[in-house]
Amino acid sequence: MGKELPSRSDDYSLWYNELVKKADLAEHSDVRGCMVIKPYGYSIWEKMQQALDKMFKETGHVNAYFPLFVPKSMFEAEEKNAEGFAKECAIVTHYRLKSDDKRPGKLMVDPDAKLEEELVVRPTSEAIIWSTYKRWIQSYRDLPLLINQWANVVRWEMRTRLFLRTAEFLWQEGHTAHSTAEEAVKETLQMLNIYAEFAESFMAMPVVKGIKSEGERFPGAIDTYCIEAMMQDGKALQAGTSHFLGQNFAKAFDVKFASKEGKLEHVWGTSWGVSTRLMGALIMAHSDDEGLVLPPKLAPIHVVIIPIFRNEGELAKVSTAVESITKALRNLGLTVKFDDRDTQKPGFKFAEWEMKGVPVRLAIGPRDLENGTVEVARRDTREKQLIRIEEVVTFIPRLLDQIQDNIYQRALTFRNEMITSVDNYSDFKKVLDEKAGFVMAHWDGTVETEGAIKDETKATIRCIPLDAKVESGKCIYSGQPSKRRVLFARAY
RNA sequence: CGGGGCGUAGCGUAGCCCGGUAUCGCGCCUGGUUUGGGACCAGGAGGUCGUCAGUUCGAAUCUGGCCGCCCCGACCA
């Protein structure tokens, strides 16, 4: 097994897969299309969860948990939603196994244990949640209902990729109910903004906020808003979605409330979610040929300290010096790892922690003890410098802020370079093939044109950016008039 | 579900065409020398060759069935 990563520019997919494995984030499991998230990878997801959960709570949401199984009749109640997910559902049909007479010691599905009604393993929870909301909502006094759940869902994808698309994945899904359309729309946009803020200030990943075209809309939604990010290979990644559901689910599940005026009305809904796919986004937004690059705000370990020593005596001396540094940094709320393993050499440890993306590394050896110094290495630029040991407490927090800012700026510069405006179809295809990235172009607004462009180029409309300026133009495909440019890209 | 490929130690592989009980690297274990950018030397452990059947004195190798996985397409947070 090679110790080094393939180069990003040679084969991006290979680089990505190797990085995920070598940084100890995740691996394919023996179960078809499923993934094992390893402790280190999971600790990054936990940091994401914590940050998001805090933002949800600050905006009045609470967490709850709903069942994994959705009876088929319940699932199919909202027809568009059901139809949209029908092709990728796992279904429970039996509830018992029995020993197989033909294969001693083996089991078979007991044909007598067939369920009267099949259970769909949730691909998303609107159905089960709205059928519950029916019981919870009677009056305008019960609204708004602002609930989030952290859960797993199953979508039986034909082809899977670590973090980006797995048969089972972890996510959060918010499901809210409101008394007016205006309030629900406001909620939808609020959550979109929270996702964008999370992506930019925690993940250090710039995103485009926009609204999906009809063809890309969530099944059962009136409007789907999204944040779209740009990966280093020029492909787009949908990083989060927020849906205005109108009264579709309220009508399908008969969820009504008595208004102040005493009228019985259907409630207005939203749903919004981000998944472990964000892990893939984080990896592909910042990492390099040495491995993962983590933004300090999501790094499970901020600082790794590597002692340099030749014998136990030297290690003991270094450890004493490290102890006070560790204590001081921990008092600042930082997570510090002292890697005093005597089974690996320093060079090995340097490489290993770089692969894992730890933002800052300190190295301390006998030479430093003599001089009162410590070597500081930052992961984003891989620069090293010596600082006075007493400076550490002021230097490191500042450096972490700089790293957070630097990787955001780097990603932003790259992303902006990867947005190209084109005015005709041949330029459009040329940019997609030669440069990739986002392509801003006029579109006539029809599903037919969108579909034709997708078939011919594999590029889809990622979104109609919310800040798209109004300008008259002609659709690059049909020549029909258009009022604004939309964002095209090949996407994950 | 269509088209292609693969299944040999924890991982990555050679051997297969041309049958004789398995190669190499990484990792692992032991001992020693090392330790400021992925150490070196010596020794060692580890394999129902996916599975079932057939051909044969003899099968990782040939034949057939089955199972599983990967890649390309359709689908997709």
| Spatial contact of A246 and A269, defined as CB atoms under 8 Å apart | yes
- Find the Å distance, CA of residue A63 to C1' of nucleotide B3: 47
Nucleotide nearest to A88 (CA to C1'): B75
Question: Taking 60 as the threshold, does the pLDDT of residue A1 lie above it?
Answer: no
* pLDDT score recorded for residue A377: 98
> Percentage of chain A with pLDDT > 90?
82
Question: Taking 50 as the threshold, does the pLDDT of residue A2 lie above it?
Answer: no
Give the number of other Cβ atoms within 10 Å of residue A90's Cβ. Answer: 14
Q: What is the pLDDT of residues A434-460, one digit of tens each?
A: 899 999 999 999 999 998 999 889 899
Dmax over CA atoms of chain A, in Å, equals 82
Please state whether strand B lies within 7 Å of residue A382 at its CB atom: yes
State which residue has its Cα closest to the C1' atom of B72: A159
Distance (Å, whole) CA A358 – CA A338: 12
* Structure token digits, residue A256: 């009504």
Mean pLDDT of A329-347: 96
Between these two residues, A447 and A157, which has the higher pLDDT value? A447
Q: How confident is the model at residue A346 (pLDDT cuts 50, 70, 90)?
A: very high
In Å, how far from its chain's centre is CA A235? 15
Instruction: Provide the whole-model pTM.
Output: 0.95
- Find the Å distance, CA of residue A303 to C1' of nucleotide B43: 39
Please state whether strand B lies within 7 Å of residue A341 at its CB atom: no
Distance (Å, whole) CA A408 – CA A200: 7
Please state whether strand B lies within 7 Å of residue A20 at its CB atom: no
* pLDDT score recorded for residue A105: 67
Distance (Å, whole) CA A183 – CA A472: 32
Nucleotide nearest to A312 (CA to C1'): B35
Question: Taking 90 as the threshold, does the pLDDT of residue A331 lie above it?
Answer: yes
Give residue for tokens 């579109």.
A443
In whole numbers, what is the pLDDT of chain A averaged over residues?
93
* pLDDT score recorded for residue A90: 86
Distance (Å, whole) CA A298 – CA A25: 14
- Find the Å distance, CA of residue A106 to C1' of nucleotide B56: 33
* pLDDT score recorded for residue A5: 81
Give the number of other Cβ atoms within 10 Å of residue A211's Cβ. Answer: 20
Q: What is the pLDDT of residues A219-271, one digit of tens each?
A: 999 999 999 999 999 999 999 999 999 999 999 999 999 999 999 999 999 99
* pLDDT score recorded for residue A391: 96
Nucleotide nearest to A163 (CA to C1'): B77
Please state whether strand B lies within 7 Å of residue A76 at its CB atom: no
Distance (Å, whole) CA A389 – CA A321: 9
Please state whether strand B lies within 7 Å of residue A308 at its CB atom: yes
Q: How confident is the model at residue A110 (pLDDT cuts 50, 70, 90)?
A: confident
Nucleotide nearest to A310 (CA to C1'): B35
Distance (Å, whole) CA A126 – CA A173: 9
Please state whether strand B lies within 7 Å of residue A34 at its CB atom: no
Please state whether strand B lies within 7 Å of residue A124 at its CB atom: no
Distance (Å, whole) CA A370 – CA A220: 68
Please state whether strand B lies within 7 Å of residue A96 at its CB atom: no
Please write down the HEC assignment for all residues of chain A.
CCCCCCCCCCCHHHHHHHHHHHCCCEEECCCCCCEEECHHHHHHHHHHHHHHHHHHHHCCCEECCCCCEEEHHHHCCCHHHHHHHHHHCEEEEECCEEECCCCCCCEEECHHHEEEEEEEECCCCHHHHHHHHHHHCCEHHHCCEEEEEEEEEECCCCCCECCCECCEEEEEEEEEEECCHHHHHHHHHHHHHHHHHHHHHHCCCCCEEEECCHHHCCCCCCEEEEEEEECCCCCEEEEEEEEEEECHHHHHCCCEEECCCCCEEECEEEEEEEECHHHHHHHHHHCECCECCCCHHHCCCCEEEEECCCCHHHHHHHHHHHHHHHHHHHHCCCCEEECCCCCCCHHHHHHHHHHCCCCEEEEECHHHHHHCEEEEEECCCCCEEEEEHHHHHHHHHHHHHHHHHHHHHHHHHHHHHCEEECCCHHHHHHHHHHCCCEEEEECCCCHHHHHHHHHHHCCEEEEEECCCCCCCEECCCCCCEECCEEEEECEC
* pLDDT score recorded for residue A103: 65
- A411 Cβ partners below 8 Å, 6+ apart? A204, A205, A206, A285, A286
Nucleotide nearest to A164 (CA to C1'): B77
- Find the Å distance, CA of residue A427 to C1' of nucleotide B21: 63
> Percentage of chain A with pLDDT > 70?
98
* Structure token digits, residue A275: 């998944």
Question: Taking 80 as the threshold, does the pLDDT of residue A100 lie above it?
Answer: no
- Find the Å distance, CA of residue A1 to C1' of nucleotide B30: 23
Between these two residues, A361 and A12, which has the higher pLDDT value? A361
Residue A331 C-beta-side C-alpha neighbours within 13 Å: 9
- Find the Å distance, CA of residue A3 to C1' of nucleotide B25: 12
Nucleotides of B under 7 A from a protein CB: 1, 10-12, 25-27, 34-39, 68-77
State which residue has its Cα closest to the C1' atom of B39: A345
List of A residues 448-467 with CB within 7 A of strand B: 458
- Find the Å distance, CA of residue A358 to C1' of nucleotide B11: 25
Give residue for tokens 């995103």.
A207
Mean pLDDT of A202-218: 95
Between these two residues, A76 and A28, which has the higher pLDDT value? A76
Q: What is the pLDDT of residues A372-418, one digit of tens each?
A: 999 999 999 999 999 999 999 999 999 999 999 999 999 999 999 99
* pLDDT score recorded for residue A10: 77
Query: Could you give the ipTM of this predicted complex?
Result: 0.86
Please state whether strand B lies within 7 Å of residue A365 at its CB atom: yes
Distance (Å, whole) CA A12 – CA A255: 48
- Find the Å distance, CA of residue A14 to C1' of nucleotide B25: 20
- A235: exposed, middle or buried (Cβ count in 10 Å: 0-12, 13-18, 19+): middle
Q: How confident is the model at residue A104 (pLDDT cuts 50, 70, 90)?
A: low
Q: How confident is the model at residue A65 (pLDDT cuts 50, 70, 90)?
A: very high
- Find the Å distance, CA of residue A476 to C1' of nucleotide B72: 30
* pLDDT score recorded for residue A275: 95
Q: What is the pLDDT of residues A189-203, one digit of tens each?
A: 999 999 999 999 999
Mean pLDDT of A91-116: 80
